[in-house]
Amino acid sequence: MSIPSDLPRKEREKLLRRQAILDAASRIFAQKGFERATLDEIAEAAEFGKGTIYNYFSSKEELFFTLLEEGRQYFQELIQQALNRAETGHKKIERYIDVCFEFFRTHENHFKIFSIEVHQPMNHFYGDIQQRLQTNIEESIQFLADILRQAMQSGEIVESDAKRLARALLGLIYSQICEVITCTQENFDDSAKMVKHIFLHGVLRRDASPPPARCS
């Protein structure tokens, strides 16, 4: 997060402390997961007392949610900037894929948290936090579905259930990012190109002959 230089010194210091807590939380949650991570560990990683954390966040749940929510907002800003430079639905889909890979390349801890916590039943979250997380997930899916729906309306991609197609594309992106992170022989650029090729062009050769029919 960029701290405006024209703010009073105390305000800048306050924002810097808050960001230091979020950065430390990102590392600890990525390493240990939400349930095993403690505020004591986060405070130690941020080099603050635990009481300082409570000056900014009411609970571990609130700290965790804020980390994900601010990451999502930043990601959405990057997406919107990329979409503004894309003239067609086809290009918007490509830009979306590119931003996903670039964002998680530079925010690997965020991806690990997202992988551990969001892609499993959220039974350790409860009440308002669980509802807010679910709402954020649905909003992200709907955002991509709207991009795909626009491409359908312009005739650039085939008509389909936009939300299901969005989930399928996100699943493909997610699996490839996991592969890059866990396999040193893969890289983000090649994986992004492959996702774009598979999703937008498919893998079936149009000139391929059908297999011979088998006799039953």
3-state secondary structure the chain: CCCCCCCCHHHHHHHHHHHHHHHHHHHHHHHHHHHHCCHHHHHHHHCCCHHHHHCCCCCHHHHHHHHHHHHHHHHHHHHHHHHHCCCCHHHHHHHHHHHHHHHHHHCHHHHHHHHHHHCCCCCCCCHHHHHHHHHHHHHHHHHHHHHHHHHHHCCCCCCCCHHHHHHHHHHHHHHHHHHHHHCCCCCHHHHHHHHHHHHHHCCCCCCCCCCCCCCC
Question: What is the identity of the amino acid at 28?
Answer: I
Residue 193: what pLDDT?
92
Question: What would you report as the CA-atom Rg of the chain, rounded to the nearest whole angstrom?
Answer: 21
Residue 115 sits at the vertex; the CA angle it makes with 118 and 17, to the nearest 5 degrees, is 85
Residue 5: what pLDDT?
67
What is the C-alpha to C-alpha distance for residues 118 and 203, in angstroms, rounded to an integer? 29
Backbone angles phi, psi at 154, to 5 degrees: -85, 0
Residue 121: what pLDDT?
54
pLDDT, block means (10 residues), the chain with 216 residues? 69 89 95 91 95 94 89 90 92 95 90 71 61 82 94 93 95 89 78 92 72 59
Residue 13: what pLDDT?
85
Residue 48: what pLDDT?
93
Residue 209 neighbours by CB under 8 Å, 6+ apart: none
Question: What is the identity of the amino acid at 214?
Answer: R
Residue 179: what pLDDT?
85
Backbone angles phi, psi at 143, to 5 degrees: -60, -50
What is the C-alpha to C-alpha distance for residues 97 and 47, in angstroms, rounded to an integer? 37
Its pTM stands at: 0.82
